[in-house]
Structure 1
């Protein structure tokens, strides 16, 4: 079966009907256009059974599911007869006139692929989010933003696994653009099914997303919204963004990515921040413009805390490169785990990691690792202090490889600063009154943020800040006009 369609700027669908396959289904998407576009395949019951990114990257543009072999683009499931639906989700502006796409479908054909295109073991789609991969209570090291050849990264899954093992990572999230390789698994660390929702209005990482019917329903809603007012460019994107923040907020972690990094900055001015949990406060720090963008993200996060809105900071390498590839004028590679996010968990599982970052029980760092003791270990970063007491906060810093400065911040003001050396211990004792927040950070010799520890805090239950991004953003812009 073969058909051709034209994709325009909005979310659109295509359909095909097949008899129930006995052995396999194969779907290939072909386009000559180099466009950021994802295609999601749903079976007649509205269940996701695969996705491809035909316009970018080096991954195969096909989904193959059989009893013996399944590509990483697909999800093993019972093969059904009936009407299948393909959603086309452009992640950016298309050329005038749209993008022509060819769809090819075969049933009960036999295909073979290199190992890095196929399942290596248990599918992430079959992974229990409660399964423990380690039962120790400690900080676990990982990366909440990275790419492979499944979208526009340069490493295949086998090459990525080697890097992650070398860097002793406990967990990883491959956040492909509008796509999930549910078939991926890693021998050395836990893989959290995630994606980077990539739209013209901004980028959001969704950590801990399951292959259920909800995504289908959200895409249907966004497509219907596009159809109602197709003359308004991008209205379907708004519906999809708002649907994600409304319906996935409880189970997944929703994080704003590189929100100040041009040209991928966040620009949805009517955003309701209540559905979000985290902000990527350190992202891809070896990219030329990232240090300044990360500093701005840190300042914006502090600004939100001063307005009573509690979002937490996490980090992501956003690595697309092989370990030997460097950005122009950079002396360091953009590599998985730079920065790393350290999440405190009572055992390593997907659900525990998601709970940990949504509660702010984590810190983000380049180079260094920290030993953190707050009130002799009674509190973790992100904890609310419900009583008035003296706060004793101690941090020991390991792996100090270059000049750097530790700073304690109280309500956004500098409380204490210290030059760090290997094994430095830095501490403060405060007895704050009323509503307050306190955090620790580390900065390089150019004063760029290289470590962010989420605040501990005490807040009045009566505070009800209005999370209107447009108002907050304008206030932040005016307040920081001289700094950024």
Structure 2
């Protein structure tokens, strides 16, 4: 077993250090130390073949990382595989002037007791094989695996955190709490960390990352391999507009959904003004409702989203709990805990798999709710549609009289709270059905609309559901008909058009 240590005061934002690995080693254990509990420092380890073996962000939790030949002993932010001899490279990023310490051991045989991590206890599913020269790739994750059969609305959460970044729950706790919340799936979106394994459980976990920078956060939902988001990347990575544009392009090419998080929530609102809307698939309209600034931020995001749709940019609206806390904790000014699955995002899928959930988001077959459960029957002509659908072909080639063309909507709402439902047409409330008493014994409230078909132009319709005090309880993605060719538009132009410059 060989051992090394370094203690350095950072002279620049990023510095590199060598780790010499001898022949015959089976594992490398590295422990980091920082001046403060939550430094947000970053670390990356490159092996002698120049392959990335872990990426780390200091959110104030476990600072021990194990790289091992076997997946069972490898940290869930690291890649298993050969511990080849030669010079490995440790990359540290922290603010200049900060003190950083690192100590490491390499060895063969069983891991010594100090390196036994609670993160690795129990049965796990392993997402990366660690094949030689494969890189930081989730090549063992089964995107097509069917977790549940049947076409229906599946309940999930697209924004979660664990102790692998700055959350308080372990991976196992996240999965267990998701079961308690009745979720079918959630996406793992730790800050600038891509998980490579997860404890086995009954809820589908979809790989992802929250790409996190000072000027905004976005989720890469369904990311299949690490992207170079480092500030030391040639284009500045997540610290520059050019770098963010590249990262969104690369994520989309992998098949990931690019979703801007809490876009109107200061100080984490999206500030990369030259981001093209064509690079974005979805917007997180509703973030953790128990955080007191979020209700206002969600209303602004709804306004912004309406402007997107009016301009022909049909981005999908989703929600995310952004869960960081233990289920027993809450914000000081809120009497409800901050929980995974609040709000929940429901996605219509033919069956439950990672692939089908991501495709459902791309198609806009989504609604978001803090409680009300929705079922909708939307009919135009002889065809039926669901949220997110294009109805343009409903009357194509039909000889029915123009004045008989209607869109019929029946909304069934199961809710413990009294509700009022607004039909939003092209960004304006077209009609609103007053508060309705919640039904007993789980019986749904049934509301109906007959909407005249407008043959000219481009039209979209969504439902906003609120309680009697006007607080948001749920919203749907729009159905639409007609076409509007979206013009190139940047985020700054969208903010200006929405008259939301003051966040």
TM category (shorter chain) comes to: 0.7 to 0.9
CA contact (8 A) 2:257 2:282 kept: yes
CA contact (8 A) 1:435 1:457 kept: yes
Q: Aligned to 1:334, which of 332, 338, 343?
A: 338
Q: Aligned to 1:397, which of 413, 424, 431?
A: 413
1:281-322, Cα deviation, whole Å (9 max, x unpaired):
111000011111111111110111111111111111111111
**Counterpart of 1:106?**
105
Q: Aligned to 1:225, which of 235, 247, 256?
A: 235
**Counterpart of 2:251?**
248
Q: Aligned to 2:431, which of 412, 416, 425?
A: 416
- Distance in 2, matches of 1:383 and 1:15, equals 55
**Counterpart of 1:468?**
490
- Distance in 2, matches of 1:129 and 1:45, equals 29
**Counterpart of 1:144?**
158
Residue 295 and residue 323 in structure 1: after superposition, are their counterparts in 2 closer, same or farther (change >3 A)?
same
Residue correspondence of structure 1 range 138-217 to structure 2 within 5 A: 138-211=152-225, 215-216=227-228
Look at both structures and tell me which one has the larger radius of gyration over its CA atoms: 2
- Distance in 1, matches of 2:74 and 2:106, equals 14
CA contact (8 A) 1:69 1:118 kept: no
Residue 241 and residue 377 in structure 1: after superposition, are their counterparts in 2 closer, same or farther (change >3 A)?
same
- Distance in 2, matches of 1:153 and 1:346, equals 32
1:412-432, Cα deviation, whole Å (9 max, x unpaired):
121221223331112222213
Residue 386 and residue 449 in structure 1: after superposition, are their counterparts in 2 closer, same or farther (change >3 A)?
same
- Distance in 1, matches of 2:203 and 2:372, equals 20
Residue 403 and residue 304 in structure 1: after superposition, are their counterparts in 2 closer, same or farther (change >3 A)?
same
- Distance in 2, matches of 1:51 and 1:235, equals 15
C-alpha displacement at 1:456, in angstroms?
1.3
Name the count of aligned residue pairs: 462
- Distance in 2, matches of 1:410 and 1:254, equals 26
Residue 87 and residue 416 in structure 1: after superposition, are their counterparts in 2 closer, same or farther (change >3 A)?
farther
Residue correspondence of structure 1 range 255-270 to structure 2 within 5 A: 255-270=259-274
Residue correspondence of structure 1 range 277-426 to structure 2 within 5 A: 277-375=281-379, 378-387=384-393, 389=395, 390-398=406-414, 400-418=415-433, 419-420=435-436, 421-422=438-439, 423-426=444-447
**Counterpart of 2:137?**
none
More deviation in 24-33 or 436-445? 24-33
- Distance in 2, matches of 1:236 and 1:454, equals 32
- Distance in 1, matches of 2:263 and 2:180, equals 30
Residue correspondence of structure 1 range 430-441 to structure 2 within 5 A: 430=451, 431-433=453-455, 434-441=457-464
More deviation in 319-328 or 13-22? 13-22
C-alpha displacement at 1:170, in angstroms?
0.8
Residue 86 and residue 443 in structure 1: after superposition, are their counterparts in 2 closer, same or farther (change >3 A)?
farther
CA contact (8 A) 2:241 2:275 kept: no
1:403-462, Cα deviation, whole Å (9 max, x unpaired):
33111111112122122333111222221332111111212334232212111112426x
C-alpha displacement at 1:107, in angstroms?
1.8
**Counterpart of 1:229?**
none
- Distance in 2, matches of 1:98 and 1:444, equals 51
| Gap runs ≥5 in structure 2 | 129-139, 396-405
Q: Aligned to 2:30, which of 18, 27, 31?
A: 27
SS of the aligned residue for 1:348 comes to coil
- Distance in 2, matches of 1:417 and 1:85, equals 62
**Counterpart of 2:125?**
122
- Distance in 2, matches of 1:377 and 1:6, equals 67
Residue correspondence of structure 1 range 449-460 to structure 2 within 5 A: 449-460=472-483
- Distance in 2, matches of 1:305 and 1:11, equals 41
How high is the TM-score relative to the length of structure 1? 0.88
C-alpha displacement at 1:153, in angstroms?
1.3
C-alpha displacement at 1:37, in angstroms?
2.8
SS of the aligned residue for 2:144 comes to coil
C-alpha displacement at 1:351, in angstroms?
1.3
How high is the TM-score relative to the length of structure 2? 0.85
- Distance in 2, matches of 1:249 and 1:464, equals 19
**Counterpart of 1:81?**
85
C-alpha displacement at 1:467, in angstroms?
1.6
